[in-house]
Amino acid sequence: MNTADLGLPVDVPSTALFTDQYELTMLQGALKAGTAERRSVFEVFTRRLPDGRRYGVVAGTGRVLDAVENFRFDDGVLGFLRERKIVNEETLRWLADYRFSGDIWGYPEGEVYFPGSPIMRVEGSFAECVLLETVILSILNHDSAIAAAASRMASAAGSRPLIEMGARRTHELAAVAAARAAYVGGFATTSDLAAGFRYGIPTVGTSAHAFTLLHDHERDAFQAQVDSLGRNTTLLVDTYDVAEAVRTAVEVAGPELGAVRIDSGDLLLVAHRVRQQLDELGATATKIVVTSDLDEYAIASLAAAPVDAYGVGTQLVTGSGHPTCSMVYKLVARAESADPGAPLVPVAKKSSGGKTSIGGRKWAARRLDEEGVAEAEVIGTGPVPAGLADRQLLVELVKGGAVVAREPLDVPRERHIAARANLPLSATQLSRGEPVIPTEYVQGRSGS
pLDDT tens digits, one per residue of 281-301? 999 999 999 999 999 999 999
pLDDT tens digits, one per residue of 190-240? 999 999 999 999 999 999 999 999 999 999 999 999 999 999 999 999 999
The rounded distance, in Å, linking the Cα atoms of 22 and 42 is 16
CB environment 351-368: b (16+ within 10 A), e (fewer): eeeeeebbbbbbbbbbee
Q: Which helix (H) or strand (E) holds 399?
A: strand 395-399
The mean pLDDT value for 265-276 works out to: 97
DSSP state of 342: P
The mean pLDDT value for 82-96 works out to: 98
Three-state secondary structure call for residue 374: strand
What is the pLDDT confidence band of residue 69, given thresholds at 50, 70 and 90?
A: very high
DSSP state of 197: H
pLDDT in the model for residue 119: 98
Phi-psi region of 203 (alpha: psi -120 to 50; beta: other; left: phi over 0): beta
Please determine, for residue 187, whether its predicted confidence score (pLDDT) is greater than 50.
Answer: yes
The mean pLDDT value for 71-94 works out to: 96
The mean pLDDT value for 69-83 works out to: 95
Residue 113: strand pairing partners: 56
- From the list 2, 101, 58, 85, the residue with the least C-alpha distance to 340 is 101
Higher pLDDT residue, 447 or 380? Answer: 380
* Span of 24-33, 392-401, 435-444 with lowest mean pLDDT: 435-444
Q: Which helix (H) or strand (E) holds 157?
A: helix 133-157
The mean pLDDT value for 358-381 works out to: 96
- From the list 395, 403, 388, 400, the residue with the least C-alpha distance to 106 is 395
DSSP string, 26-89: HHHHHHHHT-TTSEEEEEEE-SSPSTT-S-EE---HHHHHHHHHT----HHHHHHHHHTT-S-H
pLDDT in the model for residue 432: 83
The rounded distance, in Å, linking the Cα atoms of 307 and 287 is 7
Strands 189-190 and 162-164: parallel
CB environment 87-118: b (16+ within 10 A), e (fewer): beeebbebbeeeebebbbbbbbbbbbbbbbbb
The rounded distance, in Å, linking the Cα atoms of 403 and 397 is 6
* Span of 272-281, 388-397, 405-414, 438-447 with lowest mean pLDDT: 438-447
Average pLDDT of every residue of the chain: 94
CB environment 2-20: b (16+ within 10 A), e (fewer): eebbeeeebeeebbbbbbe
Query: Using CB atoms within 10 A of its CB, is residue 277 exposed (0-12), middle (13-18) or buried (19+)?
Result: middle
Secondary structure E strands in 70-160: 103-106, 112-113, 120-125
Please determine, for residue 253, whether its predicted confidence score (pLDDT) is greater than 90.
Answer: yes
DSSP string, 209-253: HHHHHHSSSHHHHHHHHHHHH-TTSEEE--SS-HHHHHHHHHHHH
pLDDT tens digits, one per residue of 13-45? 589 999 999 999 999 999 999 999 999 999 999
The mean pLDDT value for 63-83 works out to: 96
Q: Which fold has domain 3-146+322-442?
A: nicotinate phosphoribosyltransferase (3.20.140)
What is the pLDDT confidence band of residue 446, given thresholds at 50, 70 and 90?
A: very low
pLDDT in the model for residue 353: 65
pLDDT in the model for residue 354: 66
CB 320 within 8 A of CB 295: yes
The rounded distance, in Å, linking the Cα atoms of 214 and 233 is 18
| 412 contacts: CB under 8 Å, gap ≥ 6 | 59, 61, 62, 108, 109, 110, 184
pLDDT in the model for residue 445: 57
Three-state secondary structure call for residue 181: helix
Architecture per CATH, 156-321: Alpha-Beta Barrel (3.20)
Neighbours of 153 (CB within 10 A): 28
CB 189 within 8 A of CB 163: yes
Please determine, for residue 170, whether its predicted confidence score (pLDDT) is greater than 60.
Answer: yes
The mean pLDDT value for 387-415 works out to: 97
Sheet holding 439-442, edge to edge: 362-368, 374-381, 439-442
pLDDT in the model for residue 13: 58
| 268 contacts: CB under 8 Å, gap ≥ 6 | 301, 302, 304, 305
Q: What angle do CA 369, 374, 376 make, to 5 degrees?
A: 95
- From the list 145, 139, 148, the residue with the least C-alpha distance to 54 is 148
pLDDT in the model for residue 9: 41
Domain coordinates in residue numbering, the chain: 3-146+322-442, 156-321
The rounded distance, in Å, linking the Cα atoms of 343 and 40 is 10
Cα 87 to chain centroid distance, Å, stands at: 33
Sign of the Cα pseudo-torsion (45, 139, 105, 164, in order): positive
pLDDT in the model for residue 431: 86
CB 206 within 8 A of CB 225: yes
